[in-house]
Structure 1
Amino acid sequence: MRVLIAGAGIGGLYLAHGLHRAGVDVEVFERAASPDAFAAGYRIHIDRDGDRALRSCLPPRQVADYEAACGRPPRTFAFVDERLRELLAVEIAPAGADSGHRSINRYRLREILLSGLDDRVRFGRELAGFEQGDDVTARFADGSATAGTILVGAEGTHSPTRAQLLPHAGRVDTGVDGITGRVVPHGPPAELLPSAFADGPGLVLAPGGRNLFVATHEDYLVWGLSARRESLPAGGIGDLVPDRLHSLARELTARWHPRLRHLVDAASEVSGFTIKTSVPVPPWPAGRVTVLGDAIHSMPPSRGIGANTALRDAELLCRNLTSGMAPVAAIAAYEQEMRAYGFAAVKASVQAQRQGLVANPLAFSASKAALRVLNAVPVLRDRVFR
């Protein structure tokens, strides 16, 4: 069996590692000219299942590199209002215990996943299309082509593989724009960080359909400000330059607690984004081409499970392809299971985004009251957030 993977993202590289270790002939084709194209980006959340999957797939040296690159495991997740009044504090792990959750820079994780695959990854090879028959032929933008047993599209949200295989599987605009900021403090990050976020990340819920995600890492902090587009000046962030984005973030948080305003103001790197999401796709006939990760079930970042769902895809597909099943049967079994949990993750992420961006004043007050009730009843809180 020869497996062709389009896209050297986290899911595609994980799959390549798993197949390569199992003795499968695998080759990865990446549009970017070099690994340096991955340098931009923040840390991502790896949950217990994603952490277990990475440890089971990677060779010992890469596992050691992964452990060294991970940030301090979070102990709590806090919800506060724009005046830093506590709404809810959820314990992820007791003091001194390992939560099993990790955070790692996306670029660094890709570096780790690339190591050990040096002769298997081809940069500067953008997939243009494919042809299926007794095998599958991948055709590239430079005019070249290669044949394999199966093709896996792991190119992310703008996947050419998905566009040809499932042209009806589009993405929709959620009506939410965001601004992210990276803060490198002059002293310890804890001195700049509000105490509510000292032991883990958190979310500031503010009136008008706005929120602010805050997380700290060893030597820097990140924040992400999200808002419903109708609440933004000029109808959204559009093509605003970083300085204007930073000014807009200051405007949107002008009446918040001084510590939050200071955190927003202190960002040295600012960028904007528009949140889109995939929609469920009815089952399709299995063949020699399939997709994984954001190529099929991209979702809002509101639950931090996009990368973990891609890892789950790659682990499942690798297990099926190396189980002895015929390739098309292995893909059919993968797609049936992936559609169920993948689009369930999309639905949960969209719902979490809506709950965190309540614009109606009465509904917003009710939402805050519900969080305070959960906070006051630990048994109920633990059941809801387990």
Structure 2
Amino acid sequence: MPTEPLRILIAGGGIGGLCLAQGLRQAGADVAVFERAPTAAGFREGYRLHISPEGSHALHTCLPADLFAAVAATSGRPPRAMSFLTERLGELLSVEVLADDTEPDPVAAHRSVNRYTLRRILLQKLDDIVRFGKECIGYERHGDNAVTVRFADGSTAEGNLLIGAEGGHSAIRAQFLPHAERVETGMVSIGGRLPLTTETRRLLPRHLDRGPISVLAPRGLSMFIATHQAVIAEAYRHLAPPDAGDCVVWGFTGPSDRMPVAGRSGEELRRLVIDHLRGWDPRLRRLIEHSDSGSINAISIRTAVPVKAWPPSNVTVMGDAIHSMPPSLGVGANIALRDAEILTQKLSAVYCGELPLLQAVGAYENEMRQYGFAAVRASNRALKQSATTGAFSFAATKAALRILNALPPVKKRVFQ
């Protein structure tokens, strides 16, 4: 048992914050989560999410066994490969993720999950500690062992440690590390989805049978396409969104100066994407045409600026609040889950009287800065590669991918 009381406050009830809350609850810690959404229904946004073996391991570490079983039971068909294609759907590179004769690791597996379903699972058994309608706007520290967090409704909460997990617009980070900036990448992404039906299956590149694809096109344009196919048992049906079903999700990315998205409706965004698909395989155009305009939205892609080490205190940050990154590698959620796993381990040691609080926080921050900002740099590189606008550099990128594809032993080493 702890040598002294330890109350942990988590600002933000997203995937990382809820996974951390589950881990700390498992350890017997006194924890409270403050989420700005008015109710759990505010978590409906988002479609398919890729969970890497690293993210899956973190979920296994932090969740009770029955909740991790729910994650596994509601996951879609695991990917076997990741492919890179031209805009005419010619193969540039196909990388094996899981051999056809290999069963996924039941703990550390690649998983395709519905974001809404995952959040519903993460909220299970936390009814008494998640407070909705609580938007954090700042805090006051009272030495190294007490902190007060302030909310937009005028209320406050007291604790020993405050963790900012409210995403890229984190008020906790803005006060704690005002120099930790998020900057525009000059790229925007428009995304949508459509049901996976007999008709829409005919439009899909054959590579999607084995996993997601990334289409690389001239002039800095690219498109990500994946399917989510899950057979959900009746026992878990209540966790799925009302419109649950097999679907295709897509994201179209390009330079913001040629893709003005601000204030545009879903139908206007659809037309914008279609306008940029001239010369592409016509099946891709038809995928966009079949998408429900209500599912189509856009984001301006920002990225975190790595910062140097800071002195540990009883305030810290995790997930997109500190290392937000472009979606180009699909690892942002997995890095947040890794944050949750490491924080759970370090704070459990504090709760058991094995580590002083500031030493535990500092150890977490040292690790997090290394892998978190490494993921930011890698995601930025991937975005830059897909956003190549020069004809020569784009041709060189395609040639390099084709050479790798023709040399399986080298390809395996590169993508190990």
Taking structure 1 as the reference length, the TM-score comes to 0.97
Structure 1 counterpart of 2:124, which letter? Answer: S
Residue 240 of structure 2 aligns with which residue? none
1:334 and 1:98 mapped to 2: Cα distance? 33
Structure 1: 5+ residue stretches without partners: none
> Superposition pairs for residues 14-53 of structure 1, below 5 Å?
14-53=19-58
SS of residue paired to 1:247: helix
Residue 379 of structure 2 aligns with which residue? 349
SS of residue paired to 2:296: strand
Structure 2 residue 117 is the aligned partner of structure 1 residue 112: no
Structure 2 counterpart of 1:240, which letter? Answer: R
**What is the aligned counterpart of 1:225 among 237, 241, 252?**
252
> Superposition pairs for residues 219-258 of structure 1, below 5 Å?
219-232=246-259, 236-258=260-282
Residue 336 of structure 2 aligns with which residue? 310
CA displacement at 1:52 relative to structure 2:
1.2
Residue 411 of structure 2 aligns with which residue? 381
Asked if the contact 1:27/1:122 (under 8 Å) is kept, the reply is yes
Structure 2 counterpart of 1:54, which letter? Answer: L
CA displacement at 1:301 relative to structure 2:
0.4
Structure 2 counterpart of 1:61, which letter? Answer: D
CA displacement at 1:188 relative to structure 2:
6.8
**What is the aligned counterpart of 2:131 among 122, 128, 133?**
122
Structure 2 residue 189 is the aligned partner of structure 1 residue 159: no
1:39 and 1:249 mapped to 2: Cα distance? 24
> Superposition pairs for residues 272-287 of structure 1, below 5 Å?
272-287=298-313
Asked if the contact 2:200/2:287 (under 8 Å) is kept, the reply is no
1:216 and 1:189 mapped to 2: Cα distance? 11
**What is the aligned counterpart of 1:180 among 191, 196, 200?**
191
Structure 1 counterpart of 2:370, which letter? Answer: A
Residue 203 of structure 2 aligns with which residue? 192
Asked if the contact 2:77/2:111 (under 8 Å) is kept, the reply is yes
2:398 and 2:45 mapped to 1: Cα distance? 35
**What is the aligned counterpart of 1:211 among 208, 219, 222?**
222
**What is the aligned counterpart of 2:140 among 112, 131, 137?**
131
Deviations 1:310-337 (A, max 9, x none): 0111111111111121111111111111
1:337 and 1:178 mapped to 2: Cα distance? 30
2:172 and 2:415 mapped to 1: Cα distance? 36
**What is the aligned counterpart of 2:357 among 322, 327, 334?**
327
Asked if the contact 1:5/1:154 (under 8 Å) is kept, the reply is yes
CA displacement at 1:60 relative to structure 2:
2.0
CA displacement at 1:185 relative to structure 2:
3.9
Asked if the contact 2:190/2:297 (under 8 Å) is kept, the reply is yes
Asked if the contact 2:194/2:290 (under 8 Å) is kept, the reply is yes
Structure 2 counterpart of 1:272, which letter? Answer: A
**What is the aligned counterpart of 1:368 among 398, 403, 409?**
398
CA displacement at 1:73 relative to structure 2:
0.2
CA RMSD of aligned residues (A): 1.2
Residue 103 of structure 1 aligns with which residue? 112
Asked if the contact 2:303/2:325 (under 8 Å) is kept, the reply is yes
2:412 and 2:332 mapped to 1: Cα distance? 23
2:256 and 2:103 mapped to 1: Cα distance? 39
Residue 296 of structure 1 aligns with which residue? 322
Deviations 1:324-372 (A, max 9, x none): 2111111111111111111110000000011112110011111101111
SS of residue paired to 1:302: coil
Residue 4 of structure 1 aligns with which residue? 9
2:103 and 2:202 mapped to 1: Cα distance? 24
Asked if the contact 2:252/2:273 (under 8 Å) is kept, the reply is yes
Structure 2 counterpart of 1:257, which letter? Answer: D
- Give the percent of matched residue pairs that are identical in Structure 1 and Structure 2: 50
2:412 and 2:179 mapped to 1: Cα distance? 40
Q: Decide which moves more: 96-105 or 332-341.
A: 96-105
Asked if the contact 1:208/1:231 (under 8 Å) is kept, the reply is no
Asked if the contact 2:113/2:228 (under 8 Å) is kept, the reply is no
Structure 2 counterpart of 1:201, which letter? Answer: P
1:281 and 1:189 mapped to 2: Cα distance? 45
Structure 2 counterpart of 1:347, which letter? Answer: R
Residue 290 of structure 2 aligns with which residue? 266
CA displacement at 1:277 relative to structure 2:
0.5
CA displacement at 1:88 relative to structure 2:
0.7
1:48 and 1:186 mapped to 2: Cα distance? 29
**What is the aligned counterpart of 2:369 among 313, 330, 339?**
339
CA displacement at 1:87 relative to structure 2:
0.6
Q: Decide which moves more: 33-42 or 92-101.
A: 92-101
Deviations 1:36-65 (A, max 9, x none): 011011111100011111112211221221
Asked if the contact 1:185/1:192 (under 8 Å) is kept, the reply is no
SS of residue paired to 1:192: coil
CA displacement at 1:189 relative to structure 2:
5.3
Structure 2 counterpart of 1:88, which letter? Answer: L
1:54 and 1:326 mapped to 2: Cα distance? 25
Structure 2 counterpart of 1:237, which letter? Answer: V
1:251 and 1:188 mapped to 2: Cα distance? 23
Structure 2 counterpart of 1:210, which letter? Answer: L
SS of residue paired to 2:202: helix
Structure 2: 5+ residue stretches without partners: 1-5, 230-245
1:19 and 1:186 mapped to 2: Cα distance? 42
2:394 and 2:190 mapped to 1: Cα distance? 22
Taking structure 2 as the reference length, the TM-score comes to 0.90
Asked if the contact 1:177/1:272 (under 8 Å) is kept, the reply is yes
2:196 and 2:77 mapped to 1: Cα distance? 17
